[in-house]
Amino acid sequence: MIKDIDNLKVKLAAFLEAQRPLYTQGKVADYIPALAEVCPKSIGACVATINGKVVGAGDYQVPFSIQSISKVFGLVMAMNRIGDDLWQRVSMEPSGQAFNSIIQLEWEKGVPRNPVINAGALLVADVLTSHFSASKLAFLSFMRKLSHDDSVYIDCHVYESELAHGNRNAALAYLMKSFGNIESEIPEVLSHYFTQCAIAMSCEQLANSLLFLANKGIDPVTNEVICSPKDAHRVNAILSTSGMYDQSGEFAFSIGLPAKSGVGGGVIAIVPNYGVICTWSPPLNSFGNSVIGTNLLANLAEELGLSIYH
């Protein structure tokens, strides 16, 4: 795959410069007002490999709001905590709806389609709040452990902003509670969920922290088992079918990697047995995925032949 790391650095920088002017093609998320304060021209990308190589370009060391990328970590924590019981409460199918859609949830009696749409992530947040005495702290500690970096932090401004504008997520959570699929009190669930979304990390930190998913569940730096190989497979499968929301089909068709986006403009992609790519550019397309971030992943996947479907 990537044999020549110096060459990759040059290529990555060139791809990034070619994409830089295209920031006007998307729109920075503003339904969480604090996210709209981010410079739309920010752009960064990082490739981290399981054998310890890290290549970055642009703003790859600048922290940004990870938002829905946090759903990947929450899912791993919940799987580790309650095992297969989780799959009684959330399904593993693509939703074919927007990430924050409410309509399907009533038809399907409060059981979310998958753990990476908002309803599913709120369900996971409920599992964490009801099974950890201090779930927010446990979450932050998990992120710091995985990134090997204690500087990872919660952006309180983003947290407060989402809390003040979180009515749709509240509606999803209350609807699930009405079907008996949420155990904790809703304000507690929302507070946990908004906290994990408000974590700030750079492309480099995110790429490093997800290497275990490219390495059958094992942190390649410490050799610690983060999750079972079976669960690493399951998370990658869910990211392949649902991680880019209602653009997941097109993403698989054209790029072919398990991936997860966030409305902060970050996208992570797992390259099994190789490494992780993280891109960041805040302007989003209509699916809530970073326009430039997706383009950069397409560039890299093609250049390096990374598709898992080859």
Q: Where in the sequence numbering do the catalytic residues fall?
A: 68, 71, 193, 245, 263
x-marked contacts with ligand GLN along 42-71 as a string, rule CB under 6 A? -------------------------xx---
217: left (phi over 0), alpha (psi -120 to 50) or beta: left
Query: Shortest approach of ligand GLN to residue 76 CB, angstroms?
Result: 17
Are 1 and 304 in contact, with CB atoms under 8 Å apart?
yes
Which residue is closest to ligand GLN by CB?
68
The answer to whether 243 contacts ligand GLN (rule: CB under 6 A) is no
The answer to whether 290 contacts ligand GLN (rule: CB under 6 A) is no
To which residue do tokens 């949420």 refer? 182
To which residue do tokens 């560039």 refer? 299
Query: Shortest approach of ligand GLN to residue 159 CB, angstroms?
Result: 10
Measured torsion, CA atoms of residues 158, 280, 144, 149, in degrees rounded to the nearest 10 = -120
Q: Which of 125, 214, 263, 306 binds ligand GLN (CB under 6 A)?
A: 263
* Measured distance CA(307)–CA(257) in Å, rounded: 6
Neighbours of 145 (CB within 10 A): 16
Query: Shortest approach of ligand GLN to residue 9 CB, angstroms?
Result: 29
The answer to whether 100 contacts ligand GLN (rule: CB under 6 A) is yes
Q: ∠ at Cα 78 (135, 208), nearest 5°?
A: 85
Q: Which of 59, 126, 162, 231 binds ligand GLN (CB under 6 A)?
A: 162
> Torsions phi, psi of 184, nearest 5?
-75, 175
Residue 279 DSSP label? E
Nearer to ligand GLN, 100 or 254 (CB): 100
Query: Shortest approach of ligand GLN to residue 87 CB, angstroms?
Result: 22
Q: Which residues bind ligand GLN (CB under 6 A)?
A: 67-68, 99-100, 118, 162, 169, 197, 262-263, 288
